[in-house]
């Protein structure tokens, strides 16, 4: 005898049906549904209440600790390379932060290779810079990266391995696009692509440091007070 396939007519949110119904006890399944749903509803409501209480507690903690946490938070930036392939002395950064450096480096290169760079052009130079917004001021930290600019340890200047250089650095204050002041902050430790600076807004100090393989190399950290630039 051929048996025709039965069309499932009970599929929906409750499919598959409870085990009691599958075992031929529709009454048991009905009772199970009646008893389970209120329990699930109460469990869901309790979970929501627990979440609300936890959220309120979290908000209370944030409200208590938030201002202190924000005040104590340090900003940290990685120094980014700023390359001048054909620098011009009129460039605002070069003119205000490193005046005369372009000509100095060009004369040094021409003393070695008289025909380079060509007349009317200047020798390539590069810097590592990081900029902060503090008290409505732009604070620019820059490190010159050139073997003739006073970088100590630049005998392996083109070595691709992590290699420390100790190069001249400056701190510059800029307000509304105007260069207010620039000061020398001495030699700082430079690992290309691995040099950072953090600013502590409570101590109002910058910390320039390197991170190589997750570690700060010895003698590769320098503290610079914000007041040095602001006092100029």
User: Looking at residue 37, what is its pLDDT?
Assistant: 45
Question: How many Å apart are CA 49 and CA 58, to the nearest integer?
Answer: 14
* 97 & 28 share domain: no
pTM over 0.75: no
* 31 & 136 share domain: no
The rounded percent of the chain whose pLDDT value lies above 70 is: 63
Cis omega (within 30 of 0) for bond into 69: no
pLDDT 10s digits, 152-173:
874 444 555 667 899 999 999 9
Look-up of token digits 């085990």: 19
What is the number of structural domains in the chain?
A: 2
Q: Is residue 8 part of a domain?
A: no
Tokens found for residue 78: 């990685």
* 68 & 138 share domain: no
The whole domain housing 68 covers 19-72
Question: How many Å apart are CA 61 and CA 58, to the nearest integer?
Answer: 5
* 96 & 186 share domain: yes
pLDDT 10s digits, 73-116:
678 999 999 999 999 999 999 999 999 999 999 999 999 999 99
* 79 & 62 share domain: no
């Amino acid at each position: 005898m051929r048996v025709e396939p039965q069309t499932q007519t009970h599929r929906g949110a409750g499919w598959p049906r409870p085990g009691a119904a599958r075992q031929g006890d529709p009454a048991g399944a009905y009772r199970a549904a009646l008893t389970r749903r209120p329990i699930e509803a109460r469990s869901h409501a309790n979970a929501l209440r627990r979440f609300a209480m936890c959220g309120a507690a979290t908000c209370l903690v944030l409200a208590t600790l938030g201002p202190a946490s924000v005040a104590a938070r340090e900003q940290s930036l990685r120094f980014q390379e700023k390359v001048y392939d054909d620098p011009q002395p009129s460039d605002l950064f070069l003119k205000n932060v490193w005046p005369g450096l372009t000509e100095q480096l060009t004369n040094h290169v021409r003393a070695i290779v008289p025909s380079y760079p060509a007349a009317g052009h200047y020798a390539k130079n590069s810097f590592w810079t990081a900029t902060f917004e503090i008290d409505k001021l732009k604070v620019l930290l820059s490190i010159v990266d050139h073997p003739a600019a006073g970088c100590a340890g630049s005998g392996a200047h083109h070595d691709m391995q992590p290699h420390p250089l100790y190069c001249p650095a400056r701190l510059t204050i800029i307000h509304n696009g105007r260069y207010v002041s620039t000061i020398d902050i001495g030699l700082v430790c430079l690992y290309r692509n691995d040099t950072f600076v953090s600013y502590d807004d409570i101590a109002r100090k910058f910390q320039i440091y390197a991170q190589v393989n997750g570690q700060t190399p010895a003698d590769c950290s320098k503290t610079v007070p914000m007041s040095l630039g602001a006092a100029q």
